[in-house]
Amino acid sequence: MNSTKIGTPVIVLNVKSYAESMGRRGFELAKVCEDVATKQGVNIAICPQQVELAKIASAVNIPCFAQHVDALEPGSHTGFVTLESVREAGATGTLVNHSEHRLRIADIDFIVRRASALNLLTIVCTNNIAVSRAVAELKPYSIAVEPPELIGSGRAVSKVDPEIVSKTVEEVKAVYSDCVVLCGAGITNGEDVRAAINLGADGVLLASGVVKAKDQRAALLDLVTGL
């Protein structure tokens, strides 16, 4: 499903390249996200593994984002992913500059501009307040601040480092008031989500708290209580 925006507050689930989110398990997880979003009346978006993007985007009615795109126009490139191809796959948008897949600032600028022309949403990941402020100048749809040291730690950024969340919201909105500001790293339960929202965030970006959970549906149901 392509779309021009996502509802907030939102939980964006990046399933990364975990074994638990490959193939059939990734498909089932996307269906769980759709089911929880529908039944609980909340906003959930998912970033499937790249090779599953088209299949999952055509099977669920929640927004699907690519995990990464390359700063390239369609053409003679091998093994790269273009914005045009993720749009054809049915994606609503893409993550950009994830901590595990960094890009140069010129490439981020290219992707944000081209995505906007293609009606695709960009969620640009940043590592601190200053980088968030700088990226806001590019006017992406969304900025997700994630301190790298807390990623996958189970220690929620909204609790361990509340200032990076509130300050990022303040500084980003001062530059570009329409920007949807998310925070991520270590978010695992509803309390972590609530803390993020109370700090002014429009939602959270997370991965391991759901993907690695014994019961992924229960983890998600807990998370959405914080929205």
From 146, 163, 170, 191, the catalytic residue: 146
CB of 108 or CB of 187, closer to ligand G3P: 187
The reply to whether 68 belongs to the active site is no
Per CB under 6 A, the segment of 32-40, 76-84, 162-170, 205-213 that binds ligand G3P is: 205-213
Q: Give which of 182, 218, 176 is closest to 200, Cα–Cα.
A: 182
Q: Give which of 111, 105, 162, 113 is closest to 131, Cα–Cα.
A: 105
Measured from the CB of residue 24, what is the shortest distance to ligand G3P in angstroms? 22
Q: Give which of 86, 85, 44, 83 is closest to 61, Cα–Cα.
A: 44
The reply to whether 146 belongs to the active site is yes
147 binds ligand G3P, rule: CB under 6 A: no
Task: Record the tokens describing residue 218, joined without a space.
Answer: 């229960």
Q: Which of 7, 152, 190, 200 binds ligand G3P (CB under 6 A)?
A: 152
Report which secondary-structure segment, H or E, holds 224: helix 216-224
Q: Give which of 41, 40, 35, 95 is closest to 64, Cα–Cα.
A: 95
Q: Which of residues 23-62 bind ligand G3P (CB under 6 A)?
A: none
Binding site for ligand G3P (CB under 6 A): 14, 98-99, 146, 151-152, 184-187, 205-209
Where in the sequence numbering do the catalytic residues fall? 98, 146
